Structure 1
Amino acid sequence: MTQAPQQAPAPAPAPTPAPTPRTTATPALTTAAQSKGVDVPGLLNKWQFIAVTTCVLFAVITATLQMLAWQANRAAADNTEQLVRVQNIQSTLFRADALATTSFLVGGLEDPAQRAAYDDAIDQVTRQITEAAQAQPADSEVLAALNSAVNRYTTTSTQARDNNRQGFPVGAEYLRGASTELRADALPLIEALTAANSDRAESELDAHHPLLILVIGLVALAGLWWINTQLAKTFRRRFNVGIAAAFVVVAALTLVSAAVSSGQASDNDDLRAGSYQVAVKEATARTAGNDAKSNESRRLGAQGSGAVFEEGWATAALTVEENAYFDTLDLWQAYSDLHFQVVDLEESGKYAEAVALATTLDPSGPTAALDAFDTASQDLVRVMATSTTNELRSGNTIFLVLAALTLLLGLGAAGLSTWGIAQRRREYA
């Protein structure tokens, strides 16, 4: 029997090659970071904390400065009003004294119109002292002392009027004493109030700091730039989108905030050199003008021995000339010319004629001329002071809006920083 040939066994299948293991290191990490065993998650947490803190501190500090700027403008307006109010008290008080001393030159009952003007001036002073105490509590103690000085003056003036009405010469002496006491007691108090409110107003006008805002912004930007640089060293990315976006937000807020603050500082400088200065200087001129008129009457009342009062008149006149606005300076000059006519009459021995000219209510007399100056000066002070305070308050809302935007966008920048670093954290994980 023939055997069938045997078949060769089938070759064994070739073994399947084992898969190449995948590396766990992300290609975004640099070789240096891998080789040094850097704690990347820890670094990311630290950088996120620094970025968020930088953005939040920038927002809070800048918004605080903007709120302080808003408050400073309001305070500057309030202190300007108080300053003008105090100066008006002084001017009106000296006007009352000028009216009283002028009317006493005639003897007997004073002119009813002048008496009414005197009473109205004293009423204004009393009312304005009350208003000033309510408007600025810091001045209340000094204003209370001033009110007492005014009351002593009016009491002595009333005694002088009673004696003058009966034809007693002692009445004029009472009034001279009242005028002297007024200047000794009231004037230092008013000067202290004027200086305090002037310092407060000008300090608030200077309360805008664009350079400080710029420095704070640059510090925040430097911090964000440093964080971006550290991320670039650790990851193969030149810029982190979140950090870059936060950088742009902070830069924009810094530029806008500094520009607005700089603009307001410039506006305040213009106000100080413009309407504010005119209001303050004109109020000073008005006070000096009424003081001069009072010294004129006191000189005549001294009947030949009033050289010291002429010195007072000259000092007051110089103050008017140095401070009066050109609109009122011509009116002052009209009174000044008439004053020298009064002086010439007295020095030439025509005392009665000098008194008649000084006390006449004729529109061409010195009293009417001084009244014209006083009225124009008071109106100018009111207009300029109102212009100053309106300007300070009208454009002030922008600081509130900007402060709110700075807080919101600053927090948004912190969120962008967190998001940007979170991207790197996911890459690493």
Structure 2
Amino acid sequence: MARAEELRLNELSPRAAAAAWRERFATTELRAFAESSPAKLIAIGLILLSLCVSAGIVTAMAVTDRQHALDVLLDESEPDAYSAQRLYTSLSVADASAGTAFISGGLEPKPVRDRYNQAVGQAAAELVVQSTGGDADVDAELRTGIATGLPVYTGIIETARTNNRGGQPVGAAYLSEASNLMQKTVLPMAQELQEHRADAITATQRNHVRPPWPAILLPLLVVAALIGAQLFLFRRWHRVLNFGLLLATVTMVALLSWTVVAGFISAVDTTHARDQGSGPTAALTESRILAQQARTAETLKLVRRDTSADYDRTYDQAIEKLRNILSGYASDAPGAAEVKTASAALDRWRAAHQRMNDALSKGDFIGAAAVATGPGVVEATAQTDDLDRALGDGIADTRNQLRADTSHAARTLDLLGPGALVLSTAAAVLIACGLWPRLREYR
């Protein structure tokens, strides 16, 4: 075989033969070098260095993404959800106040008129401050629908008021039409918008409590690779310890421990924010909405002088749901004291509502109107105001808890991102320092 190759080389020109011999020696030397100990040391070093750098970058990116998500929740998602809740509540208050104004007949009392105007103005303001977060297309369509429906609603209300002041019975029909527009069109859109905003918070919290597996598994792989490399060096060179690789292992273990501990604390804070913040906030928000729905049904019954059970059914259903939420509210949750106040106000309101129904059953419309809209401290207006105020204060408490826990969850990760890059870089340097003395032995 060798003889045949030599004959073939003799057939080549001197330059081609020389090139062929160089290629043969280069291939032989490369194969020999690849099987040598220095090549194996270099290969081990490159693999370990690549793993360390990759682990640092992946961990830093994962931490940055998670922290950014929490910052978006604090700066955009949560304020938008709160604004959407205020939008829905303001629209409900406006509808209930419009009905209350008609019960008095003629020119409505100034406090009632002011309450209506304030609610409409608040709703318009909340539409302006809403951002394009969440599902931008759907939410933009909802905001547009609310913004379009609100002036139509207020226009019908003004027409109803004009007729009511002139003593025209058609005013009640206009009021019913406006309330139907609000209850069947505008409020459902506001509720859907509010649910979208709340879902954005829930989605962020759900994603955050999941472990960042790439940022955990990759440093763990690096630690395993470093231990394997040290065992290889021990078997090959019978050196008990390589201080460079040992310190690099300790460094990566520190990074892994920091990632797990900081991630765990951040996840616990986020879980607490969900259980003691966003969860109770959703319950109290629903309670506030139910209270306004019941109040609207109560006032419309008087305006329409409707003796059928339709308005009573709406009122009873809303009150029953509201009572169940308040009675099931955790006693150790934020806003628990306000919930007790709201429950007491609800009981007094139900008693006032019963007095109103008793008066209506006797044909005493004036007495029923006095109970429903009178200024007395035991009448329905005072109780609904106390109920709404207590629920609003409870929402403020739960919101503060949500924001405090979320902020702490984000701040827990503050140093982990840059720390991961520093520790992984330090581990890479220590790896180089640990392998370099072994390479120098082959000079």
TM norm. shorter chain > 0.5: yes
Letter in structure 2 aligned against 1:268: T
Correspondence for 2:61 among 60, 64, 67:
64
Higher share in helix: 2
Classify 1:264/1:327 alpha carbon distance in 2 versus 1 (closer, same or farther; 3 Å).
farther
Question: Mapping of 1:71-220 within 5 angstroms?
Answer: 71-77=68-74, 78-133=76-131, 138=136, 139-206=139-206, 207-210=208-211, 212=213, 213-220=215-222
Letter in structure 1 aligned against 2:316: A
Letter in structure 1 aligned against 2:295: K
Structure number with the bigger relative contact order (C-alpha 8 A, sep ≥ 6) is: 1
Tell me the alpha carbon deviations over residues 329-367 of structure 1, each in whole angstroms, 9 at most, x when there is no partner.
222222122112212222343333212211212222101
**Offset at 1:80?**
2.2
Classify 1:360/1:97 alpha carbon distance in 2 versus 1 (closer, same or farther; 3 Å).
same
Contact 2:81 2:194 in 1 (8 A): yes
In structure 1, C-alpha distance between the alignment counterparts of 2:217 and 2:343, rounded to whole Å = 47
In structure 2, C-alpha distance between the alignment counterparts of 1:377 and 1:208, rounded to whole Å = 29
> What residue number does 2:294 align with?
292
Question: Mapping of 1:266-345 within 5 angstroms?
Answer: 266-324=268-326, 325-345=339-359
Contact 2:101 2:112 in 1 (8 A): yes
> What residue number does 2:8 align with?
none
Which moved further from structure 2: 50-59 or 195-204? 195-204
Contact 2:270 2:405 in 1 (8 A): no
Mark the structure with the bigger radius of gyration.
1
In structure 2, C-alpha distance between the alignment counterparts of 1:182 and 1:410, rounded to whole Å = 59
**Offset at 1:191?**
2.5
Classify 1:365/1:37 alpha carbon distance in 2 versus 1 (closer, same or farther; 3 Å).
closer
In structure 1, C-alpha distance between the alignment counterparts of 2:324 and 2:218, rounded to whole Å = 43
Classify 1:40/1:85 alpha carbon distance in 2 versus 1 (closer, same or farther; 3 Å).
same
In structure 2, C-alpha distance between the alignment counterparts of 1:239 and 1:169, rounded to whole Å = 98
In structure 1, C-alpha distance between the alignment counterparts of 2:37 and 2:142, rounded to whole Å = 67
Letter in structure 1 aligned against 2:72: A
- Percent sequence identity over aligned pairs: 23
Contact 1:210 1:257 in 2 (8 A): no
Report the secondary structure of 2:106's partner residue. coil
> What residue number does 1:422 align with?
436
1:403 and 2:405 aligned: no
In structure 2, C-alpha distance between the alignment counterparts of 1:205 and 1:37, rounded to whole Å = 51
Letter in structure 2 aligned against 1:370: T
Letter in structure 2 aligned against 1:270: H
Contact 2:348 2:378 in 1 (8 A): no
In structure 1, C-alpha distance between the alignment counterparts of 2:437 and 2:311, rounded to whole Å = 86
TM-score, with length taken from structure 2: 0.84
In structure 1, C-alpha distance between the alignment counterparts of 2:389 and 2:110, rounded to whole Å = 20
Tell me the alpha carbon deviations over residues 301-356 of structure 1, each in whole angstroms, 9 at most, x when there is no partner.
23234421111112211232233433422222221221122122223433332122
Q: Post-superposition, which runs of at least 4 consecutive aligned residues in structure 1 deviate over 4 A?
A: 134-137
**Offset at 1:276?**
2.6
1:41 and 2:41 aligned: no
Contact 1:92 1:287 in 2 (8 A): no
**Offset at 1:375?**
1.5
Tell me the alpha carbon deviations over residues 33-65 of structure 1, each in whole angstroms, 9 at most, x when there is no partner.
xx9993222212211111011111111111112
Letter in structure 2 aligned against 1:89: L
Letter in structure 1 aligned against 2:69: A
**Offset at 1:220?**
2.1
Which 5+ residue runs of structure 2 have no aligned equivalent? Answer: 1-31, 327-338
Report the secondary structure of 2:363's partner residue. coil
In structure 2, C-alpha distance between the alignment counterparts of 1:322 and 1:64, rounded to whole Å = 45
Contact 1:246 1:417 in 2 (8 A): yes
Contact 1:209 1:262 in 2 (8 A): no
